[in-house]
Amino acid sequence: MTLCQVNVTFKVESDVVKSNFKRANQNYMRRFWLLIILYVVFCCAGPFLLVFLTEPSKWVYAGIALLNAIPIPFIFFVMGRYLLETDEYTRAKQARAMLTGGAVVLSFAAIWGFLELYQVLPSFWSFLHVPIFFGSYGVAYGLRSRANN
């Protein structure tokens, strides 16, 4: 094998990796933002629907609550799938940001929970942990990306 053949082989493999990374990134963005939009629409539609219903039953409340929550596990599925489809560098950045987001949410939940237990703070709506996670995940990802540049 000559030097020219080796260089061509690496170039082709590099192009394939770039193509796969680009496709994985496009798929992730498309799926992620579609689910985020659905989440926001469902969260806004729930209270709006209740305005038009007179004396809804508990089943209606449960259905609306579940409708609001349905996109959340799919968002995490899409994030996990992205980790499998992307390159090692992006995978490491994403994993660190997810761990940071999870650490922030769990620490917040534990601290608030103990303060709530001892009646220092009022009860906290647990569904707000989702936006807290995504906010801290986004900040952690942005700070890591900025630090690497």
| Domain ranges across the chain | 1-86, 87-149
Say if residue 140's pLDDT is above 90: yes
Secondary structure of 24-81 in HEC code, one letter for each residue:
HHHHHHHHHHHHHHHHHHHHHHHHHHHHHCCCCCHHHHHHHHHHHHCHHHHHHHHHHH
Q: For position 17, what pLDDT does the model report? A: 55
C-alpha span between 135 and 102 (Å, rounded): 11
pLDDT digits (tens, 9 = 90+) for 15-48: 545 668 889 999 999 999 999 999 999 999 988 8
Confidence at 129, pLDDT banded by 50, 70, 90: very high
Please state which of the ranges 13-22, 84-93, 132-141 shows the lowest mean pLDDT.
Answer: 13-22
8 Å CB contact between 96 and 140: yes
8 Å CB contact between 62 and 70: no
- Among residues 35, 48, 45, 40, the alpha carbon closest in space to that of 79 is found at 35
pLDDT digits (tens, 9 = 90+) for 44-76: 998 888 888 888 889 998 999 999 999 999 999
- Number of other CB atoms surrounding residue 97 within 10 Å: 21
C-alpha span between 37 and 87 (Å, rounded): 27
